[in-house]
Structure 1
Amino acid sequence: MNILKNILSIIGGIIIVGMLVAFVKFDLADKMSKASKLDPKAMGAYMTMFDAVLTSGKSADAMVRRVKINSDVSTEDVIESMKSIAGDANMLQVGDSRMADEYDHAGKRQRYIRILHYCAPNIAKTFIDYSVAYGAFMPCRILIVEDDKGDRWLVTMAMELMLFGGHTLPPEMMKKAEHVRDTMYKMMDLGAKGDF
């Protein structure tokens, strides 16, 4: 009787292991099939983000792009430069959020924190029509922030995952998405130098 129990236990164990192996293989094959349908640049974009997470240990740091503002350029010149570049690209400044006053209630100087909001309404509508989830990332924002050393930075969302992280966008949408990304990055790169 014990021998029969042991044999049945072994057979049951083999069946369970076989089922687990089959499930893992099927699930992996399913995931690989789905991954093959992503944009060809998707894996590179995800790996770049993952490398940044491994470096800093902070997921938010991996999802942004930063540009240091030249020390000889005033913050107002940066803002004017970005506004001009945005206008040339048919993007509007749709918001300006000052996150901290220059001095607190005790008269102590605080670091500069300001967020400028930009949008191209016709492009925004196209993307929201495609997927309402895009609306959660609108409008595009550029943070102007002073660090603990007094250096100023421009920070925005890295847009590569928005462009390439899923299935390849339809060509006309990709063109519009690249226009927004290129404009935002140009605003930061030239704005940091006070250039137009």
Structure 2
Amino acid sequence: MRTRFLAVFGVVLSTLLLSAPVSRAAEPKATQSTQADVYKVAVDRGVSMADAAESMRLRANALNLQLVAELPLSKQVEAVTGQPQRTITIFQFCDAVTAKELIDVNLDFAVFMPCRIALIEDASGQGWLVMMDVNVDAIAQEMRVPQVLKDRINAVRNSLLEIMQAGAKGEL
């Protein structure tokens, strides 16, 4: 039970997603469990992968979310294999104050931070922004997260959604 809870909560904190309705990509969601699944947004065809990434960086900055890491996985694979790769980049965003307050509630929360958005180019060249989609309210209630902190988690989730939408559209 604790392992499942931590896995689900990890998804919650690593994404802090989807408290507001947002249109979903036409492709079906890939279910991870009964409480968590994948949320994907297609990058508009006229938006390059580089422009999507830059739009996400700029929107995060405008929303006061820190980009604490950017992992260019495809470039690392290219360096090891010598073979060109489709884009796979993991962006990690953080609201340090909210993260610290969650850790104050329970140290276990630390292993699930920061929030992640993956920018992935599929085999057909279509770009996708991918995050986990979970029920934060249920987990926050189980861990007895105060309402004020729960509201801040939802604000971060909404910001992450906005970052994804900006990236998908190439908006600055």
TM-score (norm 1): 0.63
Give the structure 2 partner of residue 36 of structure 1: none
Q: Distance in 2 between matches of 1:72 and 1:154?
A: 15
Label 1:147 to 1:94 Cα distance change in 2 as closer, same or farther (>3 A). Answer: same
- 1:68/1:153 contact within 8 Å kept: yes
Higher strand share: 2
Is the counterpart of residue 80 in structure 1 residue 50 in structure 2? no
Amino acid at match of 1:188: M
Structure 2: where are the runs of 5+ without partners? Answer: 1-17, 19-27
The C-alpha deviation readout for 1:72-102, integer Å capped at 9, x for no partner, is 1112221221112211221100001111228
Structure 1: where are the runs of 5+ without partners? Answer: 1-44, 46-54
Of 53, 56, 59, which residue of structure 1 is paired with 2:32? 59
Label 1:147 to 1:57 Cα distance change in 2 as closer, same or farther (>3 A). Answer: closer
For CA contacts below 8 A with separation 6 or more, give which structure has more relative contact order. Answer: 2
Is the counterpart of residue 173 in structure 1 residue 146 in structure 2? no
- 2:40/2:128 contact within 8 Å kept: yes
The C-alpha deviation readout for 1:41-72, integer Å capped at 9, x for no partner, is xxxx9xxxxxxxxx878527x52211000111
Of 85, 88, 96, which residue of structure 2 is paired with 1:113? 88
- 1:124/1:138 contact within 8 Å kept: yes
Is the counterpart of residue 137 in structure 1 residue 112 in structure 2? yes
Label 1:57 to 1:83 Cα distance change in 2 as closer, same or farther (>3 A). Answer: closer
Amino acid at match of 2:92: H
Provide the identity percentage.
30
Q: Distance in 2 between matches of 1:123 and 1:192?
A: 26
- 1:163/1:178 contact within 8 Å kept: no
Higher helix share: 1
Q: Distance in 1 between matches of 2:30 and 2:148?
A: 36
Q: How many residues are paired up?
A: 142
TM-score (norm 2): 0.71
Give the structure 2 partner of residue 39 of structure 1: none
